[in-house]
Amino acid sequence: METAIRLENVVKIFYNKKNKKFPEQKREIFALGGVSFEVNKGEIFGLLGPNGAGKTTTIRCIAGILQLNSGKIYINNQELNRSTAHKFRKNLGFLTENHGNYENLTLHDNLQFFGSFYTLDNLEERIDATLKQMGLLERKDMKAGKLSKGQKQRLAIARTILHDPEILFFDEPTAGLDPSASVHVRNLILELKREDRTIFINSHNLEEVQKVCDRVAILDLGKIKRIGEPSELGKDLWDTQELKCSLKDPISSEISATLSKLDYIKRYKIEDKNIIMYSDNIDEVTPRIVKELVRLDANILEVRRTVHSLEDIYLKLMGEEQPR
Amino acid sequence: MNVLDYKNSIRIFKKDWKTSVRRKEILAIMSIFPVIFTILLPIVMLIGIIVDPNAFLSSFGDPTLLRTILQIPPHYNDALAGAIVVIRMIVLPLFLFIPGMMPIVISSDSFAGEKERKTMEGVLLLPITKTELILGKVLASFIPSMVISLVCFLTLGVIVNMMLLSYLDGIILFFSDIPIMLVGFILAPFWALLNIQISVIISSRAKDMKSAQSISGALVTPVLGIMLVQIFNPAFLTISTVLLFTGFIVSLWLLFIYLSNKLLDPEKLILML
């Protein structure tokens, strides 16, 4: 698979001015402490992390507006440096955390300004098409300041995709949006993926990341804690896996006694008509457990393997820390 | 080495023209200042000449001495001689407030305004170089300021001639005076550019537009005042001194271009958001 973005041991340090009131305060802040990862072409890659983890700094480094202290960044296998970064930005689209629209310009003028920096043959047609895609065409001549929050975000997305960039960066794309606007943005991201674009999402919205991302990296205090597909991310985080069986009738003493003798079940607990069992390899033992329950004439209503959500994985990795 | 794409600077200029220059507050300042400094105050001065030309000229010192120092042609009557004195000593310094102050009002908004309105990051993420961005911002202040300055300068010349019409006797004041023309067409543009360059640096470092304006104003106004009072004494305004002073302003401007390229760091602009 081709690589769209590659970060190799990227270090970014911010320097604080000496604070006379708090001389003990750190002067060097490691925003990124040796971050390495790859984003494949055509995938949606999510960077998850709490506030201050270094997510926005990562995007700004890739955009070439922050100077790296060390490490390398490659875009389409070409090394990025700050003096030529503006050339790379021709093929990139950025949705910043603040929408960044000019509120006293119309939607058309906003798009015309941003679109004029790219070599586009038919800018006016593109403006109309993009506004239509965002459901904003009828507001084309309205001042951006008069739009609702969701519409402002859609205008910012229109700006991001107007020049048809290969790689898109979305920094907290649904932050502050109501549920229906969030769904619209998520659908749009999936639509862009179908157009074979590479999409990089920064978010602390776990549900959003789980729904749209092909792969996810968890960033905390400037370091990548884990990287992989959302479903695989937490595989080795828990020592046992969980299987829940719901029966029609209360659990009999015979079932309970049999379960206690099965050596492939590490432990189990009974909650009313449900049995929750823990094993090292739940995929392998599930058919055997079901067979055993059938042999004992148990009326099975449902067998469900508990899949750890991204939220469980995230909280586990963050050590369920207090908010910072 | 990156090649400068001037079209990118023009795009920044056009956008700034629409987003900041056309704002009511800025338009108000841009209209009030020129009216006060190049129409009302000069008219008040010139009324003094019309009322009593001889007394007016004498109030500046010995008329014969003034005529010698200022090399006023001997056939100029007292009214015209008084007008020359007023123009060189008072009206021109007042006029220079326009190319001095107008750009500060506009360029204070350039980076500080973008930061305040949270649009800075979007601009920095465009495929443009820092130099193209700075040039665009400078043009956005320079072009409107210079248009206003030139209109003011020409209006000033017309007002002088109109008010003293009955004394002219075929002589054209103001437009026939080479040092005055040099001030209007050579010194004023570079004076504006220097102020813009300083103001752009301040704007990039200030948190918001108001603080940028007050810092720029505080920095430039006294300098302007002291320099102008010193420079525009009657003996100063000759072709060579105006050119020499312009050369000094140009050198300072070039120094500040170098400094703005050094000091204006996108990283700092972003982190100050």
Q: Which helix (H) or strand (E) holds A270?
A: strand A267-271
Neighbouring C-beta atoms of residue B268, cutoff 10 Å: 11
Q: CB–CB of A216/A310 below 8 Å?
A: yes
Question: At which residue do the structure tokens 């009216």 appear?
Answer: B35
Rounded Cα–Cα distance for residues A318 and A221 (Å): 10
Neighbouring C-beta atoms of residue B261, cutoff 10 Å: 13
Instruction: Indicate the pairing of strand A167-171 with strand A198-203.
Output: parallel
Tell me what the pLDDT averaged over chain A comes to.
88
Query: Any chain A CB within 8 A of the CB of B268?
Result: no
Task: Give tens-digit pLDDT for A16-41.
Answer: 776 666 666 667 888 999 999 999 99
Query: Any chain A CB within 8 A of the CB of B24?
Result: no
Q: Mutate which of A59, A102, A155 to disrupt the B interface (most B C-beta within 10 Å)?
A: A102
Q: Which residues of B touch A63 (CB under 8 A)?
A: 125
Task: Give tens-digit pLDDT for A224-276.
Answer: 988 998 877 766 667 677 888 999 988 888 888 888 888 888 888 888 889 98
Verify whether the Cβ–Cβ distance A109 to B18 is below 8 Å.
yes
Q: What is the DSSP letter of A250?
A: P
A323: pLDDT confidence band, cut at 50, 70 and 90?
Answer: very low
Q: How far is CA A74 from CA A5, A167, B7, in A?
A: 6, 13, 28
Rounded Cα–Cα distance for residues B125 and B175 (Å): 48
The whole-number average pLDDT for the span A79-92 is 89
Tokens of B112: 């500080």
Query: Any chain A CB within 8 A of the CB of B23?
Result: yes
pLDDT at B135: 92
Q: Which residues of A touch B15 (CB under 8 A)?
A: 102, 105, 113
Tokens of A185: 């943005």
Rounded Cα–Cα distance for residues B22 and B64 (Å): 50
Q: Mutate which of B2, B125, B269, B272 to disrupt the A interface (most A C-beta within 10 Å)?
A: B125
Verify whether the Cβ–Cβ distance B270 to A101 is below 8 Å.
no
pLDDT at A210: 83
The most distant pair of C-alpha atoms in chain B lies apart, rounded to whole Å, by 65
Q: Which residues of A touch B117 (CB under 8 A)?
A: 102-103
The whole-number average pLDDT for the span A289-307 is 88
Complex prediction ipTM: 0.82
Residue of A89, A116, A118 with shortest CB distance to B125: A89
pLDDT at A324: 41
List of residues 6+ apart from B190 with CB closer than 8 A: B246, B249, B250, B253
Paired strand residues for A220: A223
Task: Give tens-digit pLDDT for A31-77.
Answer: 999 999 999 999 999 999 888 889 999 999 999 999 999 999 999 99
Task: For chain A, give the percent of residues with pLDDT over 90.
Answer: 50
pLDDT at B48: 83
pLDDT: which is higher, A133 or A19? A133
CA atoms within 13 A on the CB side of B233: 6
Paired strand residues for A14: A29
Residue A120, min C-alpha distance to chain B (Å): 13
Q: What is the mean pLDDT of each run of 10 residues along chain B (273 residues)?
A: 85 89 80 87 85 82 82 85 83 85 82 87 93 92 92 92 85 87 92 89 79 71 61 70 90 91 82 64
What SS3 class is residue A313?
A: helix
The whole-number average pLDDT for the span A123-137 is 94
Paired strand residues for A74: A6, A79
Rounded Cα–Cα distance for residues A202 and A209 (Å): 9
Q: How far apart are the first and last CA of chain B?
A: 29
Rounded Cα–Cα distance for residues A10 and A70 (Å): 6
Tokens of A285: 């033992």
CA angle B62, B63, B68 (to 5 degrees): 100
Q: CB–CB of B132/B4 below 8 Å?
A: yes
